[in-house]
Amino acid sequence: QVQLAESGGGSVQVGGSLRLACTTSGDTASEGCTAWFRQAPGKEREGVASIYMGSGTPFYPDSVKGRFTISRDRAKKTVYLEMNSLKPEDTAMYYCAASTYTGAWCQYPSHYEYEYTSWGQGTQVTVAS
């Protein structure tokens, strides 16, 4: 079982940046797939980035492509989400999720939430206009 802990959330002005961190412990997902999801009040949870932990290949939906960057530091057992040019619609609770397995589904986190067996508690991101 992988334990996940998010950090780095906070309040930022429109156009600002934040970097979230997801630190893993336990049976660490050195391979597999890790993703960042977000959920705003009254909205469905959305996958905003995912990464093959082995190769480091990232994937993004169009809503954040070019603004968000996911990366991993295997030595630190940490996955990061760098968020730039933030918009009010980016306001949400952000969650890190991981699977010790991987496959093509890793490219589409919103459609394969059930594949992620470990979830963090979330960190709030608020973008003020």
Q: Average pLDDT over the chain, rounded to whole?
A: 94
Tell me whether residue 99 is exposed, middle or buried, using C-beta atoms within 10 angstroms of its C-beta: 0 to 12, 13 to 18, 19 or more. Answer: buried
Q: How far apart are CA 65 and CA 22, in angstroms?
A: 20
For 40, 41, 82, 84, the CA distances from 12, given in Å and listed in that order, are 16, 18, 13, 11
pLDDT digits 0-9 by tens, 12-24? 999 999 999 999 8
- For residue 87, pLDDT over 80 is answered with yes
pLDDT digits (tens, 9 = 90+) for 15-54: 999 999 999 887 665 679 999 999 999 999 999 999 999 9
